[in-house]
Structure 1
């Protein structure tokens, strides 16, 4: 896998506390940036590594704003419990992509899912905490990259 880049963010996060944890995981696992859609991040104690100094955070007012600013030649990967989603164990991560997570209580709406280039699903029948789900996806990407896979 070429180096590429990766971003990760949350659509309509229910709790800003999850952003600090996701930011820390994103920084440790090689993300280039993180983002929110629909809410703004407020500094949280869960970001004990001060990841805000290492990778940028972008805030988008709504999905249309985010989608207009999706980087050139970048794949949008929705992380969702969906019958069309590929299990993460079988997923080939794009070189340049942005992972989009839904809040635990609502997930990603159909209008957002329809714009995703790929859908990936984590193990289990119910959703994980959004920061934990983001960590799992980023770790899977990191692990497969270390093995020379996508």
Structure 2
């Protein structure tokens, strides 16, 4: 069997200025289970995560960036940045076609994504929720949706 990695695509997921290490650990655990290629943080950095019981940080690459600008200049070539944010301009996740090669970015629960991240995102997505959700729950929903649709835009 011949495997074409460009055809398969990839995705990474991370948090900008995460609030608690527990949220990060749960997101990492979900990322490993949902097939993420890498995980990352921007701003706040946490070392060991008690909630990362599957030790995802040892199973896939973990990147840390001090600022959004530093992260953005290291965005993988041909990857689309998908911001997850509850805004009027965001596309509903239910109708969203995930890019084949993308990086998902979630903001902290209390502040959301920075204005710079919102402006630079190729796509903004949201899903039906009256209030904001726990960031690791939101990330898990995004990854589940990606996997369940298994149809990607180029």
Band the TM-score falls in, shorter-chain normalisation: over 0.9
TM-score normalised to structure 2 length: 0.92
Q: Give the root-mean-square deviation of aligned CA atoms.
A: 1.2
CA–CA separation in structure 2 for the residues paired with 1:114 and 1:34: 22
CA–CA separation in structure 1 for the residues paired with 2:73 and 2:49: 28
1:76 to 78, 81, 85: 81
Q: Which residue of 2 aligns with 1:117?
A: 122
SS across alignment from 1:114:
helix
User: Residues 38-57 of structure 1 correspond to what in structure 2 (within 5 A)?
Assistant: 38-57=43-62
CA–CA separation in structure 1 for the residues paired with 2:130 and 2:89: 14
Per-residue CA shift, 1:32-57, capped at 9, x if unaligned?
Answer: 00100002122121111111221111
1:130 to 115, 130, 135: 135
Per-residue CA shift, 1:75-133, capped at 9, x if unaligned?
Answer: 00000001111111100000000000000000012221010000000211211100000
Q: Which residue of 2 aligns with 1:98?
A: 103
Aligned residues: 147
TM-score normalised to structure 1 length: 0.94
Structure 2, unmatched stretches of 5+, are 1-5
Moved over 6 A (4+): none
Q: Which residue of 2 aligns with 1:65?
A: 70
SS across alignment from 2:8:
coil
CA–CA separation in structure 1 for the residues paired with 2:53 and 2:107: 24
